[in-house]
Structure 1
Amino acid sequence: MIGAGMGALAAAARLAVAGHRVVVYERTETYGGALRRFERDGFRFDTGPGLLPLPAVWRDLFVKTGKEPLESCVDLVQVDPAARHVFPDGTEVPLPNASRAGVVAALDETLGAGAGERWGDFLVRARETWDRTRRPLLEEPLWPNWRVLADKEPYPSVPVKRLLRTRRARTLREIGTWELRDERLAALLESHVLAYGVDPRTAPASAAVLPYMEHAFGMWYVRGGLRELARAVYERCLARRVEFVFGAEVTGVVEKDGRAAGVELADGTVAEADHVVADVDPARLRALTDHVLDEDGDVRADPAAVGPGRAVLLLALRGEREPGVAHRTVVHAPDGEKELDFLVATGGEELPCPTVTVLRPDDPTLSPEGHESVVVSAVVPADLPWESEATVRRCADVLLEAAGRAVPGLRERLLWHELRTPDRTEDETGARFGAVPPPALAAGRGRHLHPANATRLPGLYRVGGWSHPGGGLPHAGMSGALVAGLIVEGPEFRGSQ
């Protein structure tokens, strides 16, 4: 197995339980992919994802790989509210976790009568989209006739009042404009795809499943940080006798008799294998083999394209977290169009203030007594000149400015801060330019589908965020289950029932 990201760990544990000897080669010195931790002066920070949607994926992994459930290995808690949203006009609204009635009431109270009802009606349509796409997009290997998923928009049509016709939104932006009819509701909706660097103006309407997942299954936190989830999965792998070799860079996939037969390491060592599973980005995987992995038309998204990355600002603050603070606050960009234009086509102008997520966990294990650790993140162009001190300084300044709207007296409390740029993510995960893999989405002519887990080279499989079903912690876990199923049961595997 190439790489020790979360998708690879999920596949490794399942394959080991099925009787396979599994060896994981990881070029860095640790496991977990993007789930990293930074520590300094008694402060601890998650540098990757900070919250967990759809924990059932990881609960299923622990059930299928041993008697110890997930909750016996980590302290998993539901956060409430799920998020607090701060809009450019000064409006603030906390959204209760996994409560439709609570969300409707909160939106009506803050944004005006009718806002909650429109959002609630949208969630009903989003659930229909989820029901139509969940299995083919998340629980099954990518269909050979994947164009069925690419061409048909699963988001339902909406009746037009006073007219005997319906109108079907094709993009997430159209849902906000036609159905939500409030700039703040539209910004709330669009923030769910923007978190992955996806432009809501071109994202298919089927992306409605992302806010639905958060609403239906809640948002969860692992005490000690999500790095603890990576630790628990890694320890489950060890308990199932998965072997790990750290500091071992794979430089090639060995082929024999027309199939993958092992890997070659940087020191010249060759490790033979019946199957090879790669948890790496498309550019790196192409460099590991001369074999054609996908026929023309098989790859939907351009694997050579550079997607947005994520800038993460770590804040060490003096003084305790005030009571009743939301775990997560989303501070929306003052100029959303300017943000999107800069994100998808970087120009010469300075980085504008982006939409920012501020995480303030109620977790005393993350900081010295009487202090607070805060993580501020935003999606940014991955190919900016991050080696420039001016670029780094500008990014830190705009993130601090936005975070100040979520944390009272931020600058007065600031002990120190550290900015982690996309090139740091590239060093840790190997993802080209530190790009963020988005989740797979239906429709949109297939531009938001990812390469299948099986490749055209027999015996070589793809796992993790750069393969089906795409990025995000739930999706990574699902990719591990799919790859394990394909190896154990063969090409006829159609997913768990």
Structure 2
Amino acid sequence: MARIAVIGAGTGAMAAAARLSVAGHRVTVYERSETYGGSLGRYARDGFVFDTGPGLLHLPAVYRDLFVKTGKESLEQCVTLTQVDPASRHLFGDGTEVSLPNASRAGVVRALDRALGEGAGARWGDFLDRAGTAWDRSRRPLLEEPLPDDPRMLSRDPYPAVRRRRLLRTARQAATVAEVGAWELADPRLAALLDGYALSYGLDPRRAPAAAALLPYMEETFGTWYVAGGMRALADAVYERCLARKVEFVFGAEAVRVSEKDGRAAGVELADGRSVEADHVVLGAQPSPGLMPVPAPVPGGAHRAPVPGRFVVLLSLRGAREAGAAHRTLVHAVDPGAEQEAVFGGRTAELPTVTVLRPDDPATRPDEDHEAVTLTATVAPHGPVDWTDAALRERFADVVIGRAAEAMPGLRERILHTEVRTPAETAAGTGAEGGSVPAPALAGAEGAYLPAGNRTPLPGLYLAGGWAHPGGGTAHAGMSGALVAGLVVEGDGFRGSQ
């Protein structure tokens, strides 16, 4: 039985902890804050309850596998999952509107044809077919296996872009999300739909490789799910599973350095002066030079810094949620290019894309005569933008609410209370530099969008969570926990679950 110290209590770190404890190891989690869950936070006031991070779950199979491998109770015995239908409603800059059904390719094609004109659905369907090919080509090495020491096999874009003839008989293929939208989808609204997927994950459509097509493919193929009570309920369930497996948690314990002895990780030094010995250390937070005794890994996408964060507005509303209201609505930017220039140029966008979440869940509101609504925009991180500036926060929150009001007429008149969360709060709560939110791993672009691998140059030190392979997002973080546990238990020969 090995002693294992886990730094951080995010979902990826807890997933690793539960699996390692089941394997017979003694696991202790050290968390700088007073609670668990990482980005899966919760805010409550006067009977209103909100998620402060992700509000929906994709690829629930990741957590189904975790619960199968760590106990008798399945995921569905611990939380209530429902498919969101429609999966999303979209309001485009020209006033066009479309609602897309959940996990129904034929339904999406029909909906797009009705809203955008005959042929739009077929173009989107053909695009998803190509995205499916990219998924088949890259799923296992990109998501289910540890990142190889030589990641060149993932440097080539798996998306089979359509070759297009140009002048002088030359041919080109779309290399970025923006080029796929312009060249293959051939409709600014379909392009905005694709851009919206990329932007919601913190990716710049102008630079992200065409392989980002995997993101809408995953959502539209495997569905979008809501966890009753909010995503925090998933964090609660993972935490309870860790406790059931005898994982120990120490809160208010900030790790300041991973200790080293005889050329391998030997434990953790805490801010209060304590030193904890361990045979293995799992770092579930953003790697930093001060924390690691070896050079912090530089992921392939370091040139893309600064990585965006999220601006969140939590609204307590008077008045009942109307019947048939969409759970998720995206109000797309009128000028996507201007928004991308601002977000990835360290400025605030004048008219950002805003995601409106309206869960039909009694657990989120005091009674049926009120509603809890969450608004989210992808924004530049804290640093390039001073998100502690009270006037800026208030002004941008007003812009975000105004955009949401396009999807919810009369919104302003219903507001009882507004709570604003910016990248500054994310940085303070999670320790992520600038409050940045990591994006999922992507193949292509010469490996520029691959995060740090789960193994490190220091034997005995492993990386889990959104800043490690296979990247950010609740599902990807859970995958990282499975990969780290496999490497610790089986050694460097581990090649992923079969």
TM bucket normalised to smaller: over 0.9
TM-superposed CA distance for 1:289, in Å, is: 2.8
Give the structure 2 partner of residue 341 of structure 1.
341
1:337 is displaced (CA, Å) by 1.1
Q: Which residue of 2 aligns with 1:488?
A: 489
In structure 2, the partner of 1:380 is 379
Q: Hey, what does 2:159 align to over in structure 1?
A: 155
Alpha-carbon distance between aligned partners in 2 of 1:206 and 1:395, rounded to the nearest angstrom: 32
Task: Tell me by how many angstroms 1:161 deviates.
Answer: 8.6
* Cα deviation, residue 351, structure 1: 3.7
Letter in 2 for 1:5: G
In structure 2, distance between residues paired with 1:315 and 1:94? 23
Q: Which runs of 5+ in 1 are unaligned?
A: none
Alpha-carbon deviation of 1:215?
A: 0.6
For 1:451, what is the secondary structure of its paired residue? coil
CA contact (8 A) 1:86 1:329 kept: yes
Say whether residues 1:183 and 2:173 are aligned partners.
no
Q: Distance in 2 between matches of 1:111 and 1:423?
A: 39
Residue equivalent to 1:352: 350
Most deviating of 228-237 and 408-417: 408-417
- 1:428 deviation in Å? 1.3
Partner of 1:58: 63
- 3-state SS in 2 of match to 1:456: coil
Q: Offset of 1:266 from its aligned partner? A: 1.2
**Is the partner of 2:234 in helix, strand or coil?**
helix
Determine the structure 2 residue equivalent to 1:287. 290
Q: Would you say 1:305 and 2:305 are equivalent positions? A: yes
- The answer to whether the Cα contact below 8 Å between 1:84 and 1:95 also exists between their aligned partners in 2 is yes
**Distance apart, 1:344 and its partner CA:** 1.2
Match of 2:177 among 159, 169, 172: 172
Map of 2:3 onto structure 1: none
1:282, 1:304 within 8 Å by CA — same for their partners in 2? no
SS in 2 for 1:468: coil
Instruction: Tell me how far apart the structure 1 counterparts of residues 83 and 23 of structure 2 sit (CA, whole Å).
Output: 32
Q: Is the 8 A contact 1:155 1:169 kept in 2?
A: no
**Cα offsets for 1:80-118 (capped at 9, x unmatched):** 000000001111100000001100000000000000000
User: Secondary structure of the equivalent of 2:459?
Assistant: coil
Alpha-carbon offset, residue 157 of structure 1 = 3.4
Q: For 2:443 and 2:220, how far apart are their aligned partners in 1?
A: 20
**Structure 1 residue 196: Cα displacement:** 2.1
Evaluate the alpha carbon distance shift between residue 210 and residue 288 of structure 1 in structure 2; reply closer, same or farther with a 3 A threshold: same
Tell me if structure 2 keeps the 8 A contact 1:320–1:371.
yes
Tell me, what secondary structure is at the counterpart of 1:141? coil
> Would the alpha carbon gap of residues 20 and 364 (structure 1) be closer, same or farther in structure 2, given more than 3 Å must change?
same
Counterpart amino acid of residue 464 in structure 2: V
Between stretches 3-12 and 192-201, larger displacement belongs to 192-201
The one of 266, 275, 281 equivalent to 2:271 is 266
When the two structures are superposed, what TM-score results if normalisation uses the length of structure 1? Answer: 0.96
Change (3 A) 1:211 1:63: same
How far apart, in 1, do the equivalents of 2:391 and 2:448 lie? 34
**Helix, strand or coil for the counterpart of 1:302?**
helix
Supply the RMSD in Å over aligned alpha carbons: 1.6
Question: SS at the partner of 2:7?
Answer: coil
Shift of 1:307: 1.1
Q: CA deviation at 1:162?
A: 12
Aligned to 2:221: 216
Tell me how far apart the structure 1 counterparts of residues 308 and 116 of structure 2 sit (CA, whole Å): 31
Q: 1:405 maps to which residue?
A: 406
2:73 and 2:346 map into 1 onto residues whose CA distance is 48
CA distance in 2, matches of 1:304, 1:339: 17
> What's the CA shift for 1:439?
0.5
Q: How does 1:3-14 map to 2 (within 5 A)?
A: 3-14=8-19
User: Which residue of structure 2 lines up, in the alignment, with residue 85 of structure 1?
Assistant: 90
Point out the more displaced range, 28-37 or 260-269: 260-269
Are the counterparts in 2 of residues 12 and 22 from structure 1 also a CA contact under 8 Å? yes
- Cα displacement string for residues 379-435 of structure 1 (whole angstroms, at most 9, x for unaligned residues): 111131112112101210111011101112101111111111111011111111110
Residue 66 (structure 2) pairs with residue 97 (structure 1) = no
Matches within 5 A, 1:423-438: 423-438=424-439
Q: Distance in 1 between matches of 2:484 and 2:75?
A: 21
Q: 1:414 aligns to what?
A: 415
Structure 2: distance between partners of 1:433 and 1:161:
43
Provide the residue aligned with 1:371 in structure 2: 370
Does the C-alpha gap of structure 1 residues 289 and 161 become closer, same or farther in structure 2, counting only changes over 3 Å? Answer: closer
Partner SS state of residue 238, structure 1: helix
Contact 1:465 1:472 in 2 (8 A): yes
CA–CA distance in 1 between the matches of 2:173 and 2:142?
21
Residue identity matched to 2:335: D
**CA–CA distance in 1 between the matches of 2:441 and 2:219?**
16
TM-score where L is the length of structure 2:
0.96
CA distance in 2 between partners of 1:201 and 1:303 (Å): 14
Identity %: 63
Q: Is the 8 A contact 1:46 1:225 kept in 2?
A: yes
Q: Which amino acid aligns with 2:370?
A: H
Cα distance in 1 for partners of 2:74, 2:16 equals: 17
The residue identity in structure 2 corresponding to 1:408 is P
State the 1:6 CA deviation: 0.6
For 1:83 and 1:203, the matched residues in 2 are separated by 23
Q: 1:304 to 1:261 in 2, by over 3 A?
A: farther
Structure 1 residues 171 and 424: alpha-carbon distance in aligned structure 2, compared to 1, 3 A threshold: same
Aligned ranges for residues 319-338 of structure 1 at < 5 Å?
Answer: 319-338=319-338
SS in 1 for 2:64: helix
| Aligned position for 1:448 | 449
Range with bigger deviation, 153-162 or 91-100: 153-162
- Name the CA distance, whole Å, in 2 between partners of 1:143 and 1:44: 42
Alpha-carbon separation, structure 2, partners of 1:311 and 1:134:
31
- Contact 2:147 / 2:453 at 8 angstroms: preserved in 1? yes
Amino acid at match of 1:113: E
Q: How does 1:86-125 map to 2 (within 5 A)?
A: 86-125=91-130
Q: 1:204 aligns with which of 209, 213, 217?
A: 209
Partner of 2:316: 316
- 1:205-227, CA deviations, whole angstroms, 9 ceiling, x for partnerless residues? 00000000001100000010000
Partner deviation per Cα, 1:49-101 (whole Å, 9 max, x = no partner)? 00001100000000011111000000110000000000011111000000011
Tell me by how many angstroms 1:353 deviates.
1.5
Whole-angstrom CA distance in 2 between matches of 1:416 and 1:468: 39
